[in-house]
Amino acid sequence: MTPSPNDIITLGHGGGGRLMHDLIVNELLAASDVMTERELEDAALIHDGRLAISTDGFTVKPLFFPGGDIGKLAACGTINDVAMRGARPRWIAVAMIIQEGFALEDLRRIVRSIRAACDADGVHVVTGDTKVVGRSAADGIFITTTGVGERFAEPAPSATAARPGDRVLVSGTLGDHGICILAAREELSLGGSQTADGRHILKSDCASLLTLTEAIVGAGGSAVRTLRDMTRGGMSAALNEIAMSSGGSIEIEEVSVPVRREVVGACELLGMSPFEIANEGKLLAVVAPEAAADVLAAIRAHEMGADAAIVGTVGDGRPGRVSARTPLGTSRLIDLPAGELLPRIC
């Protein structure tokens, strides 16, 4: 009997949007006796809250792209998830599933990228695992990294902690990673993505957010309510998760959100919203109003934060509601992205 479409996993289940949220809540949380829908965070606190742990599988295609590769992505992605709970990543475990026939030279490049990204943040690769599967059983290499870090922020930033009146900040332009991957995969020449001499203008923003996080917590202290890196599902997914977890509403000023002109152009071409596109080196911070200006200044003073902006406010409207005020002064709903956005974006 052929299973009905409702009974099988689709690409949309991995897209970071509504389908993935429902899969996690309805099916996967059953694996745990401690995880709840309300507390789906980037990393979990363990060992009496002194440590944070996060795991992430990386399946990005292509493996090498302007601005990074799967190794850098796998290291930085997990470093960032740990950092979002106000913890300094110290140890990382690397598990690889490799397709038979994979080029050893590509593996070497990936290993060097992991090492370079970890060294830059003082993170130690302490253990690993390698599996090899047949040619038809995987596509290139998949890397799962798990990071453990020591907490330095008190309390730990949490999606549950946003309060009415808090300001919402983003650390830079949105959508660079997703559009870069899409362009590299489809060999699209998106507006401005390459100069005449082949230099890429639109690069992935793939980077560690650790030092930026330290600067934010240094400036804002306990006024830093929530930190979230805007990966799959982009800013829209992050905002909806924070609104759901905190029970607040969030309103964004659309004109305040920084997006590169090339990304706006590509999104118009593709019929996508830059708010829903994945980033790999941008964070969203929810900060108590009295500290928002200081935190914004600290982000802008950081080399990765020149385009940072205050983009919205937490309100006491319908719990979980996220909306944007448009340039015309009207309001539109920002929903959790529906399903498949860009498969294998990370």
Contact positions with a second copy (CB under 8 A) in 115-154: 115, 118-119, 124-134, 136-139, 142, 144, 146, 148
Q: Does residue 25 touch a second copy according to CB under 8 A?
A: no
The DSSP letter of residue 14 is G
Q: In the complex, what is the shortest distance from the CB of residue 313 to a second copy, in angstroms, rounded to a whole number? A: 30
Output 65 or 142, the one with its CB closest to a second copy.
142
Q: In what order do the strands lie in the sheet with 322-325?
A: 224-229, 283-287, 167-170, 309-315, 249-253, 322-325, 331-333
- Which candidate, 38, 37, 35, 58, places its Cα nearest to that of 46? 35
Total residues in contact with a second copy, by rule CB under 8 A: 80
- Which candidate, 185, 175, 154, places its Cα nearest to that of 279? 175
Stretch 213-242 residues interacting with a second copy (CB under 8 A): none
Q: In the complex, what is the shortest distance from the CB of residue 267 to a second copy, in angstroms, rounded to a whole number? A: 23
- Which candidate, 186, 194, 234, places its Cα nearest to that of 346? 234
Q: What residues form DSSP beta bridges with 332?
A: 324
- Is residue 193 a contact partner of residue 234, using CB atoms and an 8 Å limit? no
Q: Which stretch binds a second copy (CB under 8 A): 30-38, 170-178, 268-276, 282-290?
A: 30-38
Q: Does residue 107 touch a second copy according to CB under 8 A?
A: yes
What angle, rounded to 10 degrees, do the helices at 289-301 and 210-220 form? 140
Among 36, 37, 38, 47, binds a second copy (CB under 8 A): 47
Alpha-carbon separation of residue 331 from 4, 240, 252, 253, 324 (angstroms)? 38, 16, 9, 9, 6
Q: Which stretch binds a second copy (CB under 8 A): 14-22, 151-159, 257-265, 289-297?
A: 14-22
Q: Which stretch binds a second copy (CB under 8 A): 27-35, 210-218, 239-247, 269-277?
A: 27-35
Enclosing H/E stretch for 78: helix 70-83
Q: In the complex, what is the shortest distance from the CB of residue 223 to a second copy, in angstroms, rounded to a whole number? A: 26
Stretch 67-96 residues interacting with a second copy (CB under 8 A): 90-91, 93-96
Q: In the complex, what is the shortest distance from the CB of residue 17 to a second copy, in angstroms, rounded to a whole number? A: 12
